[in-house]
Structure 1
Amino acid sequence: MLIKIQTSIKADGNKGSSYALATYLEKYDVEKEKNSLEQGKLPEARSGFFDHTNDNLTKSEVVNAIDTNKKGLGKKDCKFYALTIAPSSEELKHIIKNITQKSIKNLSELNPKELEKLEEELKNYTRAIMDSYAAHFKRKGLNKGTQLVYAGKVEHFREYKGTDDLVTKGIKKVGDKKPGLNTHIHVIVARKDSNMKYKLSPLANEKGSEKNSILNGKKVQRGFDRTLFSIKAEAIFDATFGFNREIENKVIYKIEASKNNDTEIKIEKDPELKQDLQKKLINNFIKFNNYEEELLKLSLTHKGLTNDYAKDESISDIDKKRKQRKFNKYKP
């Protein structure tokens, strides 16, 4: 699962209108229309955008909603942000198997109703993510996606870029569609909440919590912890779709392992002890970043989400297990 939050070069760093970005997100609808007309067929209706409660929103409705929701923002302020929610191929296969009982490699293997059901599942997952997005700012009374102004769009393709290896080698051309399952969701979300009370910036880097952040004598939330947001999005996916994610595929583990903190884990031969060390690595990360309370809340609000980080064994406990295993191995 990849969650990406950014401004857009197509919209002058999001300081102006969302029109250019919304137009860009309709590129595959336009392509389908063009192909139909070239074949002498009547084009299908555009798939449209969705928000927290509605489907089939037009581009003009989206642009109007985003662009008019900017009270109190200056000319140089970002007016909106772009989110990309990209499940992995394995995650997509899992959802599709749940829906169709099929194991597929390409979306062409789905019939129209199955494809529609996949899109419906991903829209509802996105809505759950946007609930989490709203609450993640920790503003008083802000905890639901209905309190945001946003629009999402499901895309099923990814294209080769000029920097891709297959393009530089002349095997593929820029714009060629990549094979496999590449379905993902784009979201345009306004900087201000729907009541235009709060300025919400997911790109604010400073971390903090209410207990150690004081402004004018009041406790405040500082910044938007994008790492924790990604952890939550992954956990919500697993709970929603019943996805059994291996420890080494969890975003927390990947972050810590990338810091070369997994040397001892790599050389451990015993599977159970290896898993204990993996959990210890994750627990260290959670404690260091003060994530315990947030992850506990998440496990309580999403049924089916197991808190498999709860097991907190010390390295000495793990060493004792090692010694006991060796003793049992050679025990007559």
Structure 2
Amino acid sequence: MYITITPQKLGASYSKSSADFVDYLEKENQALEGELPSGGAENIEHFFNQYEDEISAEEVVRKIDGNTAKLEKTEPRFYSITVNPSKYELKRFQNHSEDLKKYTRELMKDYVKSFNREINGRPVSIDDIKYYAKIEHRRAFKGTDKQVKENQPFATKILQLKTNIRKVQRGEITGSIENIQREINQLERQAPHQQNGQRIVQGMQKDGNQSHIHIIVSRKDASNRFSLSPGSKYRASQVELNGKTIKRGFDRDQFFKNAEKTFDKTFGYHRNFVETYKARKQFIKNPKTYFASLTGLPASEKAIAFKILKETGIPLVPSIPVSQTQLALKLFHKLRKGIDIAVKSSSIGI
């Protein structure tokens, strides 16, 4: 599971409206509507919240935009939470849309529990927040993806060769169009990352189950009186204000841990060591301890762990040294390049 929490991002100051972001979340529906009728309306995913289904995009914009009292231009109006289950976790679902919706509603209970705040003398509850969620089933390769970046040198050469073909056709240069096309075809095949026999490029739809969740949650509570920021730099603390002790902060660490536990409990999922939030955090902070824990797993768990690591693109040496310290030191420098992949795959993000 990979979960991110990010503030509304629209430049130096924050837009007064959530319309652009909501429109972005409608992109999959717009694509479906533009396809053949068999692609159809039955596949459209609507916005939903804790208690309601089939909420329109217009209502989401109206409710989020109308809940921004006393916020400065330099403060985000809303936060975006993205929930990306791994392919192993997705296999636990019987009905992807309904199960993801069920998980979202449980996840948001964990979200409110992570605030070290009180409203009218009581802890923040699920009814104190205003959020809307949207399930998507497609993903496209981005320019920042490893596959696109590593294919880029080939893309650059292919583009130049295609330009040469046009120049030959216009008589600007001499050459054989057939030979140039043959070279292009060869480069297409040589590109290191392929999908269904095609070179992976930016914008190409990813194969496989890509179901994930987007959540837009208002910065202000449902009463439009209190600010609830998951981006607070304070994890959980207290401060004296006008002679009163005020609680403040949001514990992301606790949120990620609980999100993982909630998924496992809800869907009866047995989480391997390398999929856990604890392991991913340990991987970054203390790789020696991480690999000591990894090599100490029972044989069956270790086999699954290394299968997951291999599939996520982390380089591994062919054989495992006996010394755990030797293993950690030998792999650490190689693993530095794979940290982003490691964090984003099979576990809650950090």
Structure 1 length as normaliser, TM-score? Answer: 0.68
Aligned to 1:137: 115
Q: 2:128 is matched with which residue: 138, 147, 151?
A: 147
Q: Higher relative contact order at CA 8 Å, sep ≥6: structure 1 or structure 2?
A: 2
Matches within 5 A, 1:35-184: 35-36=35-36, 46-95=44-93, 99=94, 117-140=95-118, 141-168=122-149, 169=151, 170=155, 171-184=199-212
8 Å contact kept, 2:273–2:294: no
Q: Which has the larger radius of gyration?
A: 2
Q: Which runs of 5+ in 1 are unaligned?
A: 100-116, 276-332
The Cα of 1:88 is off from its aligned counterpart by: 0.8
Matches within 5 A, 1:10-49: 10=10, 14-36=14-36, 46-49=44-47
8 Å contact kept, 2:45–2:136: no
8 Å contact kept, 1:132–1:144: no
Q: Name the SS for the 1:258 alignment partner.
A: helix
* Cα deviation code 1:165-200 (max 9, x no counterpart): 332414212111112222110001101110123101
* Cα deviation code 1:132-163 (max 9, x no counterpart): 21222132234432321111000111111123
8 Å contact kept, 1:205–1:225: no
In the alignment, structure 1 residue 254 sits paired with structure 2 residue 252: no
8 Å contact kept, 1:11–1:20: no
Aligned to 2:188: none
Name the amino acid aligned to 2:133: G
Change (3 A) 1:28 1:269: closer
The Cα of 1:43 is off from its aligned counterpart by: 5.3
Name the amino acid aligned to 1:205: K
Aligned CA RMSD, in angstroms, stands at: 2.8
Q: Which runs of 5+ in 2 are unaligned?
A: 156-198, 303-350
Paired positions, count:
250
Change (3 A) 1:45 1:60: farther
Separation in structure 2 between the aligned mates of residue 151 and residue 182 of structure 1, nearest angstrom: 20
Q: Name the SS for the 2:31 alignment partner.
A: helix
Identity %: 34
8 Å contact kept, 2:13–2:73: no
**Comparing 45-54 and 81-90, the one that deviates more:** 45-54
Name the amino acid aligned to 2:258: K
Q: Name the SS for the 2:72 alignment partner.
A: coil
Separation in structure 1 between the aligned mates of residue 92 and residue 40 of structure 2, nearest angstrom: 34
The Cα of 1:85 is off from its aligned counterpart by: 0.9
The Cα of 1:263 is off from its aligned counterpart by: 6.3
Separation in structure 1 between the aligned mates of residue 34 and residue 212 of structure 2, nearest angstrom: 23
Name the amino acid aligned to 1:4: T
Structure 2 length as normaliser, TM-score? Answer: 0.64
In the alignment, structure 1 residue 204 sits paired with structure 2 residue 224: no
Aligned to 2:4: 4
Aligned to 1:194: 222
Separation in structure 2 between the aligned mates of residue 254 and residue 77 of structure 1, nearest angstrom: 31
